[in-house]
Amino acid sequence: MKEPGDKAGSSILLQALDGHVPKRTPIWMMRQAGRYLPEYREVREKAGDFLTLCYTPEHAVEVTLQPIRRFGFDAAILFSDILVVPHALGCPLTFEAGEGPRLQPVTDADDLKALRDDLDPSKIDRVLETVSRVRAELPGETALLGFCGAPWTVATYMVAGRGTPDQAPARLAALINPDFFEALIDRLVEASVGYLVGQLRAGADAVQIFDTWSGVLDPESFRRWSIQPIKRIVDGVRAQVPGARIIAFPKGATLAGLTELVLRTGVNGVGLDWTAERRATRLALGGRCALQGNLDPLALIAGGDALDRGIDALMEDFHGAAHIFNLGHGIRPETPITHVERMVAKVRGF
Ligand code: CP3
């Protein structure tokens, strides 16, 4: 076991990403700023639509800080969305109430040509301003996480123009028109490198790459469309920001897939969804990177014994490992706040 290093300072989350076992388990939640919080709903209403909220630093800073004030999490995550990247590449985007995102589909080389090569600074600079303003307001021991979507996951929304049950439109495009699909992935890799470097330079302490849809890929496609682009992002970011701390969240990946991803990309941490085999994952990857996760978001809705037992089992399986407590996916809007309070108290009590 390594001793906590100086580089991570007082942040126990950064200590875990540096491979140390902190004195207590750091905790944050995916989607921790969101509709389950009344104070979020209030700002959301004031801002108007969701994208306006993402692009208005004053409001985005406020909702980023809300869960820190309420629960004292060990990390804040920039309030934005993974689809800001296609939007800033020039792809029209709207969020319909209750329906999720709608993009103008990008399905062939001509559609791709119509997009920008770089991210529109008039959009992205506002997100970067949010990052630096949040960093200035956060306590030193609270880490600030930036993020982007993995190219595969962002591409699935761009090709279909929306979320679909198994992202068949993107999988089909990759099979029928691999040259187009590769060019789309390349564009997203490049944009994501610049975006993450911008966030790190603006004050993010680490970044997470969300690959929400990696679980729909067969092993060969997972290598090509999930691992390889993430590796290119990791290498590209670290070429400009040496030692950048990066977490990958390949939702639905198998243990073989997770292992290959960690070994090939050299990420500092890997996010596990709630289906992960924790002990086998720890045997395979413990000591190589921090393990983040993986409480079932439904256990947090259920509360009571189901919640208590879920947390106990999780803490026991990762006891003594470089572990970052999180959910296995984002918190859902119907989750009672009292259950979040109970979870935080329990994790802090171990
Ligand atoms: O984690 C955080 O608190 C930071 C903010 C964040 C959001 N989205 C805010 C958001 C992050 C990191 C994301 C990532 C994201 N966005 C992903 C990857 C992670 C995951 O959850 O799978 C994906 C696939 C998206 C795309 C997206 N954005 C969808 C499919 C939706 C609609 C579904 C929904 O929950 O409404 C969004 C909207 C969205 N992004 C909301 C929030 C708080 C809800 C918008 C609202 O306030 O109405």
Tell me which residue range forms the domain holding 231. Answer: 12-349
Task: Tell me if 244 is assigned to some domain.
Answer: yes
pLDDT of residue 2 exceeding 80, the answer is no
**Token pair for 97:** 């109430």
If one residue of 43, 49, 73, 81 were mutated to test the ligand 1 pocket, choosing by the most ligand atoms within 8 A of its CB, it would be 81
pLDDT of residue 17 exceeding 50, the answer is yes
Residue nearest atom 10 of ligand 1, based on CA coordinates: 81
Confidence of residue 96 (pLDDT cuts 50, 70, 90): confident
Pairing of strands 323-327, 290-295: parallel
Residue 116 has a pLDDT of 96
CA distance 229 to 150: 8
pLDDT (mean) for 217-224: 98
What number does the ligand 1 atom closest to the CA of 153 have?
Answer: 24
Residues 167-191, buried b or exposed e (16+ Cβ, 10 A)? bebbbebbeebeebbeebbebbbbb
> Is residue 157 annotated as a catalytic residue, yes or no?
yes
CA distance 171 to 156: 8
CA distance 126 to 339: 34
pLDDT of residue 4 exceeding 50, the answer is no
Q: What is the whole-number distance in angstroms between the Cα of residue 248 and the centre of ligand 1?
A: 17
Residue 5 has a pLDDT of 46
Q: How much is the ipTM here?
A: 0.94
Residue 235 assigned to a binding site:
no
Residue 323 assigned to a binding site:
no
Question: SS3 letters for 145-177?
Answer: EEEEECHHHHHHHHHHCCCCCCCHHHHHHHHHC
Residue nearest atom 20 of ligand 1, based on CA coordinates: 212
pLDDT of residue 92 exceeding 90, the answer is yes
Residue 238 has a pLDDT of 98
Residue 278 assigned to a binding site:
no
Q: What is the DSSP letter of 115?
A: S
> Is residue 81 annotated as a catalytic residue, yes or no?
yes
> Is residue 55 annotated as a catalytic residue, yes or no?
no
Q: Is the peptide bond before 268 cis (omega within 30 degrees of 0)?
A: no
**Token pair for 126:** 């506002």
Strands ordered across the beta sheet of 269-271: 75-77, 143-149, 206-211, 246-250, 269-271, 290-295, 323-327
**Token pair for 313:** 């089992």
> Is residue 70 annotated as a catalytic residue, yes or no?
no
Q: Which residues pair with 326 in a beta bridge?
A: 294
Task: Tell me if 3 is assigned to some domain.
Answer: no
CATH number at residue 63: 3.20.20.210
Q: For residue 29, give Cα distances in angstroms to 90, 105, 119, 122, 300.
A: 30, 31, 28, 30, 11
CA distance 153 to 210: 8
pLDDT digits (tens, 9 = 90+) for 35-82: 999 999 999 999 999 999 999 999 999 999 999 999 999 999 999 999
8 Å CB contact between 43 and 116: no
Residue 329 assigned to a binding site:
yes
Helix axis angle, 151-160 to 168-176, nearest 10°: 100
Which ranges constitute the DSSP H helices of the chain?
Answer: 12-17, 38-47, 50-55, 57-71, 84-88, 109-113, 121-137, 151-160, 168-176, 178-202, 219-221, 228-240, 255-265, 278-285, 297-302, 304-317, 337-349
Confidence of residue 7 (pLDDT cuts 50, 70, 90): low
CA distance 293 to 251: 11
CA distance 8 to 169: 42
Task: Tell me if 1 is assigned to some domain.
Answer: no
Confidence of residue 1 (pLDDT cuts 50, 70, 90): very low
- What's the domain count of the chain? 1
pLDDT (mean) for 200-215: 98
> Is residue 296 annotated as a catalytic residue, yes or no?
no
pLDDT digits (tens, 9 = 90+) for 173-188: 999 999 999 999 999 9
Residue nearest atom 3 of ligand 1, based on CA coordinates: 31
Task: Tell me if 155 is assigned to some domain.
Answer: yes
Task: Tell me if 191 is assigned to some domain.
Answer: yes
Residue nearest atom 40 of ligand 1, based on CA coordinates: 81
Residue 99 has a pLDDT of 87
pLDDT digits (tens, 9 = 90+) for 264-301: 999 999 999 999 999 999 999 999 999 999 999 999 99
In this structure, the residues whose C-beta lies within 6 A of any atom of ligand 1 are 30-35, 44, 50, 77, 79, 81-83, 95, 100-101, 147, 149, 163, 210, 212, 330
What number does the ligand 1 atom closest to the CA of 100 have?
Answer: 32
What number does the ligand 1 atom closest to the CA of 80 have?
Answer: 5
Task: Tell me if 252 is assigned to some domain.
Answer: yes
- The separation between the first and the last C-alpha atoms of the chain, rounded to the nearest angstrom, is 19
For the CA atoms of 277, 280, 285, 287, what is the dihedral angle to 10 degrees?
Answer: 120
Confidence of residue 344 (pLDDT cuts 50, 70, 90): very high
Count the neighbouring beta carbons within 10 Å of the beta carbon of residue 341. 12
If you average pLDDT over every residue of the chain, what do you get? 96
Residue 190 has a pLDDT of 98
Residue nearest atom 24 of ligand 1, based on CA coordinates: 212
Task: Tell me if 7 is assigned to some domain.
Answer: no
Residue 3 has a pLDDT of 44
pLDDT of residue 240 exceeding 70, the answer is yes
Residue 304 assigned to a binding site:
no
Q: How many CA atoms lie within 13 A of 215 on its CB side?
A: 16
Q: What is the whole-number distance in angstroms between the Cα of residue 81 and the centre of ligand 1?
A: 6
Residue nearest atom 30 of ligand 1, based on CA coordinates: 100
Task: Tell me if 2 is assigned to some domain.
Answer: no
